[in-house]
Amino acid sequence: MKEFIRKRRRRTIVIFFLSVYAVALVFALFPRCTLPAAESAHPFSAFRSIMYWIFDWAVLGLGLWGFYVVEDIRGELDEGHPTAPPPLTGE
């Protein structure tokens, strides 16, 4: 599996993960279109709405985690420590 990931072009990987983020964004921006019972007076409608947002959060979180893992496999993570700027002397 690691070889499969390493052979993919960076553009292909970015497009895949951007599409995952786009789906999560569409779910977040248009909840009534994707969840028809959101305005229902049914007692479970609040539960369904909460579960909907948890699902949306999970899709986004797993997408970010997956992108991190793929970048780690490809060796593209920036693990260098930032250097401190020179101190101000006041002159």
pTM of the model: 0.68
> Does 80 reside within a domain?
no
Residue-number span of the structural domain to which 51 is assigned = 2-74
The DSSP element (H or E) to which 52 belongs, if any, is helix 45-74
> Does 86 reside within a domain?
no
> Does 88 reside within a domain?
no
> Does 55 reside within a domain?
yes
Mean pLDDT of 43-55: 77
> Does 29 reside within a domain?
yes
Q: Across the chain, what does the average pLDDT equal?
A: 81
Structure token pair of residue 15: 């497009």
Does residue 25 register a pLDDT over 80? Answer: yes
User: What is the pLDDT, as a whole number, of residue 36?
Assistant: 54
Higher-confidence residue: 74 or 40?
A: 74
Choose among 7, 34, 35, 37: nearest CA to 23: 34
**Domains of the chain: total:** 1
Mean pLDDT of 58-72: 93
User: What is the pLDDT, as a whole number, of residue 27?
Assistant: 83
Asked if 49 and 35 count as a contact pair (C-beta separation under 8 A), the reply is yes
How far apart are the C-alpha atoms of 26 and 29, rounded to whole Å?
5
